[in-house]
Structures are given as C-alpha cells and as structure tokens.
C-alpha cells in the first residue's frame, strides 16, 4: 500500500489505518519565527486541526520542557524537547524493525505514545515495553493508550539502561538519538534480534542504523536511506556547553562555507570524521551572513567559519590545539572523491565497545570510520 508516498506492507498499513493519531496529539505547537504557539481543537476549525494532525509532518509537543497542553494560549520560546515523528519516518523505521505478532519489543522514547500504539497493534500490547525519562509524558501516554484499549508496559526510567526486568527483547527501537548505542541495549537484545537506532552527533542529518545481533554479542547491519534528526536521549545530568568567544588564534581562508553542513547528504559523511564531543552551532548575522562555530569542550579547539559575501568560500578563525574545520574540509574532499555516496550504501558494525561505519566503493576499496 502507498500511504503518503511511503510503500507500506499490508500488516503495517493495517496498523496505521487502525491506530488514530489525534488522541495522542490533542495540542501541539506551530512554529512562528522564534516562537511556538499551541494549536488545539477549539471546535471552530476542527477540519483544519485534523488536517494538520494527519499530515505527514512532525508535530512539536514540548518546547524547553513546556508541554503544549500546559502552555494555555501563550507562545513559548526555546528548543523543542519532544514531538510526534512524521508518520512516513515512523513507517520507514517500523518497516525496518520487522515486528511480528508475539515479538517482545522495547521502545526507548515514549513521547506521545502514538508509536507505542502502533507497536501494540503489530506485536500485541502484552509484548510491548516503552520507556521515557519524563513522568509527564509517560503518564499522559499511558492514559491515552488505555483509551484505545491497549496497555503496554510504560516505564518512567532512564532509557539508556533499557528495562532489564522485561528483557530479553526481540526488537529494540529508539525514537531519540544517541551518539553511541548503549551497552544495555546489546545486553537486552536477544541473539538474532533487530534494533533500529537513530545515531547522531553534532550535525544535522543523523543516521538511522538497522542492526541484527550476532551470537558473539555484537551487531551488524546497514544505514537506512532516511535522514533523521531525533532529539537526543536524556540520561543522567545533561552537560550544557556555551559557545566560546571568537578570540585569539589564527585566521585563514576556506573554499567551502559552513553551509555545506546544512546539506544532510554531506553532513552524515562529515559526522564520521568528527570527535563525539564536537559541538556545532550556527546563526546568521544581522546582514544575513552565515556563521558556523565548531568546538570541542574537551580540549578547547574552536573554529568559526564566516561565509564570504563576495564569491565562494569562507573566512575561518581557528583557536586551540586542533583545526576543526580542516577535518570538515578533508571530509568534503573525500566525499567528492567517492562520488558523493548515498547513506544507504554504508554498513555498520557495533558492540558495547564502539561502532564502525564502512563503505565499499565499486573498485572494492573499503573505507572505515569509528565515529
């Protein structure tokens, strides 16, 4: 079946057709510049509200920890902290997860509960466990799932630890991104089981990995074709890093500007070349000039990349022990030399000790990275 441009198998199509979305997103935010305004069904435009709910869009449900249902009529500012994923992306991930009736499933990132409801339809509610760190989200999701007559195990816990009391699982799906797959997920996935995990570092266009667990405890698989920028898994104390001031160091020219990282086809590849602790921020100056800043809090390296309004390229100010922008420049040259390979041509192997992404070009040469 073709639903919204995504080809669905019959059992997955049945799950979407029989699982309503609107009970899980009674209120959501609309982005209006730097502000987010709540939108609910006021009764004056039910058709318009339903059209948005059933569009193939992500619906932001929480901003800076303020849930849309708690915002009243006021708009809020800040970074989105929870959302309902676009249905087409959900379908891609669930298709890759290959859920069958009776499969024991762990979902990390309950969110609204809509994805958990789909998993209940696919596997049976008694086989589904969903975990989220937010008591506000898990409480609401539990109630809304119950109104549909399904009662999976809903846990308010640190998702990085999995749910050992319900393990082992045949399937694990993350609806939040991680830099490294937590070791507990390997421990709790049964041999032959499948996990679908968003892996993302500093840059946009993170990767979706589909891995199958091997008898030796490692896992291997492919990167899916779909870019994904899921919100990060919250675990323990979240360290906040302030963007450093652009002082000292040296200045040089670059043939590429920071805007190359806004291209999700390249940013996926660039991510493979960066340290896990790298942070990237970007903005536009008052005159519209694009400015990217990259820094690593661990060693204090920083690169500020300001596009040149006249002609191509950018001006780069570098400070600290390493030139972080040089890593991106080399990655861009390598990407072009490989003829811009698509993300679905890459494989991934992973273990509790780390993960390796590989690409084999048509000549047979194997390229490997351990991001």
Choosing from 83, 84, 184, 319, which is the catalytic residue? Answer: 83
Instruction: Give the closest residue to 343 by CA, choosing from 171, 115, 92.
Output: 92
Q: What Cα–Cα distance (Å) separates residue 138 from each residue in 16, 131, 155, 184?
A: 21, 8, 7, 21
The Cα 156–Cα 30 span in angstroms is: 27
83 is catalytic: yes
Cβ neighbours for 180, distance < 8 A, ≥ 6 positions apart: 199, 276, 354, 355
CB count within 10 Å of CB 212 equals: 15
By CB atoms closer than 10 A (0-12, 13-18, 19+), residue 106 is buried
Residue with tokens 């959501």, as numbered in its chain:
28
CB count within 10 Å of CB 321 equals: 8
Cβ neighbours for 288, distance < 8 A, ≥ 6 positions apart: none
C-alpha dihedral sign at 283, 287, 290, 292:
negative
Cβ neighbours for 32, distance < 8 A, ≥ 6 positions apart: 75
The residues assigned a catalytic role are: 83
């Amino acid at each position: 079946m073709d639903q919204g441009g995504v080809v669905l198998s019959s059992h997955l199509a049945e799950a979407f057709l029989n699982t309503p979305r609107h009970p899980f997103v009674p209120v959501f935010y609309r982005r209006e510049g730097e502000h987010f305004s709540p939108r609910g069904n006021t009764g004056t435009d039910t058709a318009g509200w339903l059209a948005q709910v059933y569009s193939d869009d992500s619906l932001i449900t929480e901003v800076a920890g303020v849930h849309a249902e708690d915002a009243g009529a006021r708009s809020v500012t800040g970074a989105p902290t929870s959302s309902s994923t676009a249905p087409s992306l959900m379908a891609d991930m669930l298709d890759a997860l290959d859920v069958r009736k009776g499969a024991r499933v762990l979902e990390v990132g309950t969110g609204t509960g809509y994805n958990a409801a789909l998993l209940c339809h696919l596997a049976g509610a008694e086989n589904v466990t969903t975990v989220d760190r937010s008591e506000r989200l898990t409480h609401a999701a539990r109630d809304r799932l119950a109104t549909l007559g399904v009662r999976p195990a809903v846990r308010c816990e640190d998702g990085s630890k999995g749910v050992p009391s319900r393990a082992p699982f045949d399937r694990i799906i993350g609806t939040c991104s991680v830099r490294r797959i937590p070791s507990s997920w390997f421990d709790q996935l049964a041999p032959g089981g499948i996990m679908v995990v968003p892996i993302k570092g500093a840059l946009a266009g993170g990767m979706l990995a589909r891995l199958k667990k091997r008898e030796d405890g490692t896992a291997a698989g492919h990167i899916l074709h779909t870019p994904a920028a899921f919100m990060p898994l919250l675990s323990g104390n979240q360290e906040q890093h302030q963007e450093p001031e652009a002082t000292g160091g040296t200045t040089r020219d670059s043939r590429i500007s920071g805007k190359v990282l806004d291209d999700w086809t390249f940013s996926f590849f660039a991510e493979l070349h960066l340290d896990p602790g790298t942070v990237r921020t970007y903005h536009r100056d008052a005159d519209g000039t694009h400015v990217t800043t990259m820094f690593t809090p661990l060693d204090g390296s920083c690169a500020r990349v300001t596009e040149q309004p006249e002609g191509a390229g950018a001006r780069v100010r570098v400070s600290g022990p390493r030139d972080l922008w040089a890593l991106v420049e080399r990655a861009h040259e390598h990407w072009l030399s490989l003829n811009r390979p698509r993300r679905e041509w890459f494989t991934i192997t992973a273990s509790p000790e780390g993960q390796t992404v590989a690409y084999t070009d048509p000549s047979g040469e194997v390229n490997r990275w351990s991001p």
